[in-house]
Amino acid sequence: MEGASCPARVATTRLRPGAARTAVAWCLISTLACAHRQSPPDLPADDQAKALDALERKVCLTIGDRTNSSRDRCELQVDRSTYLQPLREVFSAAPPVLKAYLCSLDRLYFDYHSPWNASFSAVPDSQTGREYRSIAIRRGVLENRVRYADWATAWNQHWWTGGPIDRPSTDPTLPRVEIEATLNGPAGTLYHLVAHEVGHLLDRDYGGGLRRLPDNKPFEPGEFGYLSWMQPWYVGETGVVQGVARDSAFEAVRTLDFDGNVKARIAMLNAAGTDRPFDPGTLAVVNWQPASRDGIATFLDRLEHSPFTTVFSTWRPADDWTESFAVMMLPSIARRFDIVAANGTRVRVLAKVLDDASPFAPKRRFIQGAIERALTDFRARQAASPNPCLAVALAGSRPR
């Protein structure tokens, strides 16, 4: 299977028998030097418009099941303010590598088939033989106009409570995410989700994480996973074998809070059936074992002093990579992204990402290397076969 990762290949098969062959990754976030540049310099407005038009043509509001191929059917009308305007804002704000990956997609889906937040797919297309690459975003995120700070807070809380992904709880004993961003509305949420999925594609192309075989092989020096993990996350004979973080104290807190809850969510989605797609963003998970409030505070205190960036990043190595990449993209739209526990413990995510002396720095250097290799290849591709979208993407980057 190509392009698979993420929590629930198992769930994919159960949820969508017709799509079982397509290895969809269920998931939910250039250089830093270029990250603060909002738009490429000296580029005619006409080129920007052409690039955005090219991007808009990739948007598909899926009709029926999704196969992640050129066979998929799309609604004829795409509401501009709901879908296209946020996408334009995301593209305009994105650093070169994020722009270039968006340009390289065949499709950008919005539909109800993403049980979490988003997914990516990269599979050979039966009609063209070429690899068909897409990212899919849960439609409700944009339809409900979920503001970035609300989504980030609710998504963080979800891991502890199983609560709705799009609606933060007002319970003062739960952590919140404080964001200072230029994209505050649904475009900010879309930016974070797209960056996460592009991170999976970058890992697959240049990171070595998603194509390592066998996938239960212990990590070795030179692999991204080696930086934080003793054992990879994989699907063994007995089902999913959880990854083991190098920091044993951290891992002990993590397993207390996480194990079993993903299964509860998958069970809920399976029980809902496939006859009528629904948006799981507004639903709480049934049978979720909530974390203890003390456990949350301890976890966030450890997170602040660890090489991990978000709660989600500690789940397994593939999402450690993608969350690391995503937060490296965040300085383009945010000055602050803090996870704040009820007792005041504060995880300053962007400060950690930008600090050369932080425990995160080795991960940043690793991913930076992948980004530079990707940009080199994008430049070569553009030289051989120019297209307006990639021209705009690469205008903001400089070869080193």
Site string for Zn ion, 242-281 (x = CB under 5 A): ----------------------------------------
3-state secondary structure of 301: helix
Cα-Cα end-to-end distance for the chain? 35
CB 389 within 8 A of CB 103: yes
Q: Return the number of the residue (136 or 187) whose C-beta is nearest Zn ion.
A: 136
As measured in angstroms, the least distance from the Cβ of 51 to Zn ion is 26
Q: Return the number of the residue (150 or 319) whose C-beta is nearest Zn ion.
A: 319
Nearest to 355 by CA among 364, 343, 345: 364
Nearest to 200 by CA among 324, 375, 318: 318
Phi, psi dihedral angles at 304 (to 5 degrees) = -55, -35
Strands 107-111 and 346-348: unpaired
Q: Return the number of the residue (51 or 111) whose C-beta is nearest Zn ion.
A: 111
Comparing every residue's Cβ against Zn ion, the nearest one is 27
Nearest to 333 by CA among 156, 200, 149: 149
As measured in angstroms, the least distance from the Cβ of 175 to Zn ion is 21
CB 121 within 8 A of CB 133: yes
Dist CA 359 CA 190 (whole Å): 28
Q: Return the number of the residue (234 or 340) whose C-beta is nearest Zn ion.
A: 234
As measured in angstroms, the least distance from the Cβ of 198 to Zn ion is 11
As measured in angstroms, the least distance from the Cβ of 120 to Zn ion is 8
- As given in the structure block, the two tokens for residue 320 are 């450690």
Q: Return the number of the residue (304 or 319) whose C-beta is nearest Zn ion.
A: 319
Dist CA 243 CA 300 (whole Å): 19
As measured in angstroms, the least distance from the Cβ of 68 to Zn ion is 16
Site string for Zn ion, 99-138 (x = CB under 5 A): ----------------------------------------
Q: Return the number of the residue (27 or 51) whose C-beta is nearest Zn ion.
A: 27
**Binding range to Zn ion, per CB under 5 A, among 39-47, 60-68, 242-250, 311-319:** 311-319
Phi, psi dihedral angles at 138 (to 5 degrees) = -60, 125
As measured in angstroms, the least distance from the Cβ of 313 to Zn ion is 10
Nearest to 98 by CA among 320, 312, 371: 371
Q: Return the number of the residue (25 or 227) whose C-beta is nearest Zn ion.
A: 25
CB 46 within 8 A of CB 395: no
Residues 312-331 that bind Zn ion (CB under 5 A): 319, 322
Q: Return the number of the residue (135 or 341) whose C-beta is nearest Zn ion.
A: 135
As measured in angstroms, the least distance from the Cβ of 238 to Zn ion is 23
Dist CA 304 CA 323 (whole Å): 15
Binding residues with Zn ion: total (CB under 5 A): 4
As measured in angstroms, the least distance from the Cβ of 195 to Zn ion is 11
DSSP H/E element including 375: helix 361-384
CB 35 within 8 A of CB 332: yes
Strands 59-63 and 107-111: parallel
Q: Return the number of the residue (314 or 322) whose C-beta is nearest Zn ion.
A: 322
Residues 205-244 that bind Zn ion (CB under 5 A): none
As measured in angstroms, the least distance from the Cβ of 173 to Zn ion is 28
How many other C-beta atoms can be found within 10 angstroms of the C-beta atom of residue 64?
11
* Contact partners, residue 26, CB within 8 Å, separation at least 6: 6, 7, 8, 9, 11, 12, 114, 115, 116, 119
Site string for Zn ion, 10-39 (x = CB under 5 A): -----------------xx-----------
Q: Return the number of the residue (80 or 211) whose C-beta is nearest Zn ion.
A: 211
As measured in angstroms, the least distance from the Cβ of 101 to Zn ion is 15
Query: What does the binding site for Zn ion look like in residue numbers (CB under 5 A)?
Result: 27-28, 319, 322
